[in-house]
């Protein structure tokens, strides 16, 4: 590492290879993922519902552009391999009255209900008040957030490719 800066890693045995900074990134991703999952659940609770992070993400995906979604589209957008996780979450969201399902030919479509849209609006208001306002005040700015999002999308592709390669070993 440059100067006296030491990498913060959780697995030093992984940091002694060809890309030591990758171990530092992976530890940061672990912390960020845990914090993000915690945030999602707590924001949902503040909006009045005890939902898992996956359930909240599915509801927001279904709510996106107020168009009904196929389960296959939800799994694709959220990059979820285990369709049964989505199916189970959709059942729970349906029982909570947040989404409704209907058939269009052979396709099962999922759409947000009025209660689902109301929940999403409350979630958004809390997110604006608690999180977005802090980001606007303290940073990072929009350009840095977009750069980070681009980097994470590229890394996601590299990790997915590596996962496919590892599956063939």
pLDDT in tens, 80-139: 999 999 999 999 999 999 999 999 999 999 999 999 999 999 999 999 999 999 999 999
Instruction: Using a cut of 0.85, tell me whether the model's pTM lies above it.
Output: yes
pLDDT in tens, 41-57: 999 999 999 999 999 99
Taking residue 70's Cβ as centre, other Cβ atoms within 10 Å add up to 13
CA distance 164 to 27: 22
Would you state the torsion angle of the CA atoms of residues 28, 34, 35, 39, taken in this order, to the nearest 10 degrees? 150
Q: How many helices (H) and strands (E) does the chain have?
A: 8, 3
Q: 149 falls in which pLDDT band (50, 70, 90)?
A: very high
Give CA–CA dist 115/166, Å, rounded: 43
- Whole-number Å distance between alpha carbons of 133 and 121: 16
Q: Which pLDDT value is given to residue 26?
A: 92
DSSP string, 83-138: HHHHHHHHHHHHHTTSEEEEEETTEEEEEE-HHHHHHHHHHHHHIIIIIIHHHHHH
Integer Cα distance of 127 and 131 in angstroms: 5
CA 167, CA 169: separation in Å to the nearest integer?
6
Residue 1 confidence (pLDDT): 45
pLDDT at 41: 98
pLDDT beyond 60 at 3: no
Q: What is the pLDDT of residues 60-78, one digit of tens each?
A: 999 999 999 999 999 999 9
Taking 80 as the threshold, does the pLDDT of residue 21 lie above it? yes
């Amino acid at each position: 590492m440059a100067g006296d800066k030491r990498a913060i890693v959780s697995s030093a045995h992984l940091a002694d290879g060809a890309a030591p900074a990758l171990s530092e990134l992976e530890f940061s991703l672990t912390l960020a993922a845990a914090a993000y999952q915690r945030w999602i659940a707590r924001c949902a609770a503040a909006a009045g519902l005890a939902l898992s992070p996956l359930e909240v993400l599915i509801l927001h995906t279904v709510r996106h552009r107020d168009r009904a979604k196929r389960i296959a589209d939800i799994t694709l957008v959220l990059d979820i391999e285990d369709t049964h996780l989505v199916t189970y979450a959709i059942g729970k969201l349906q029982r909570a009255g947040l989404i409704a399902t209907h058939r269009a030919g052979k396709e099962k479509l999922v759409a947000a209900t009025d209660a689902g849209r109301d929940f999403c609006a409350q979630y958004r208001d809390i997110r604006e008040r608690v999180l977005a306002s802090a980001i606007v005040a303290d940073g990072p700015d929009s350009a840095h957030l977009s750069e980070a999002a681009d980097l994470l999308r590229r890394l996601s592709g590299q990790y997915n490719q590596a996962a496919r390669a590892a599956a063939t070993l």
